[in-house]
């Protein structure tokens, strides 16, 4: 009988604050993933182990000036899914804006803009309230949401990612993290 004492690979979900680099840079968000920063209301019940903080790979980049959901994993299956299938996985953002939207601006945000040299595929954009837009978009590039808003006369004040696939940020405070529970899929 073999005793397999290796822990299950961990996947950690962080509420990244503004000013931290997602993957590369001087102030890496990975430095925030420490035992003391675990969300006190983490519903998973997963036992915190030192091994969970080794060899965590950051996935699904988020610009330094943006906040919200970030993923760190030790699990090769999740790594593969979030790298190979990312173009099919919808991400949701709340974008706080300032200014007056151009005529037909919301229609253009949903379909009809370009980023760089390419035409953007359709996405879902709606007003959450008078200063916030909700974007449901697949595989946005760095700076894309800010550029899209600028094209319709809006200045971005803040961007927060609240969902990757089926996994929500939840009510986790900025700077806190939680485990991805077994069975929850992106």
Cα 37–Cα 43–Cα 46 angle in degrees, nearest 5: 75
| pLDDT value of residue 1 | 47
| pLDDT value of residue 78 | 96
> In CATH, what number does 90-164 get?
3.30.70.1560
Residue 167 and residue 12 in contact, taking contact as beta carbons nearer than 8 Å: no
**Run means of pLDDT, 10 residues per run, the chain, 186 residues:** 68 97 88 96 94 94 96 96 95 98 97 93 97 97 97 98 96 97 90
> Structure tokens of 143?
């700076």
Choose which CATH entry (3.40.50.620, 3.90.1150.10, 3.30.70.890, 3.30.70.580) describes domain 11-86+169-179: 3.30.70.580
| pLDDT value of residue 103 | 95
| pLDDT value of residue 59 | 95
| pLDDT value of residue 4 | 57
| pLDDT value of residue 161 | 98
| Sequence ranges of the chain with CATH classification 3.30.70.1560 | 90-164
In order of 11, 37, 59, 153, the CA distances from 178 in angstroms are 9, 9, 15, 37
Q: The pTM is what?
A: 0.93
**Which run of H or of E encompasses 145?**
helix 144-151
| Sequence ranges of the chain with CATH classification 3.30.70.580 | 11-86+169-179
| pLDDT value of residue 3 | 47
């Amino acid at each position: 009988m073999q005793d397999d004492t290796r822990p299950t690979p961990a996947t950690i979900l962080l509420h990244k604050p503004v000013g931290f680099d997602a993957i590369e840079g001087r102030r890496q968000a990975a430095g925030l993933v420490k035992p003391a920063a675990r969300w006190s209301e983490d519903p998973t019940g997963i036992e915190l182990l030192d091994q969970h903080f080794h060899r965590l790979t950051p996935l699904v980049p988020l610009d330094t000036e943006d906040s919200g959901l970030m993923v760190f994993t030790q699990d090769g299956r999740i790594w593969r899914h979030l790298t190979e299938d990312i173009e099919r996985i919808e991400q949701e953002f709340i974008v706080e804006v300032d200014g007056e939207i151009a005529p037909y601006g919301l229609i253009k945000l949903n379909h009809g803009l370009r980023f760089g040299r390419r035409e953007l595929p359709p996405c879902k954009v709606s007003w959450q309230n008078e200063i916030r837009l909700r974007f449901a978009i697949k595989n946005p590039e760095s700076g894309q949401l800010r550029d899209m808003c600028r094209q319709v006369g809006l200045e971005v004040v803040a961007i927060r990612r609240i969902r990757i696939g089926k996994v929500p940020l939840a009510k986790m405070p900025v700077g806190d993290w939680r485990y991805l529970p077994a069975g929850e899929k992106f």
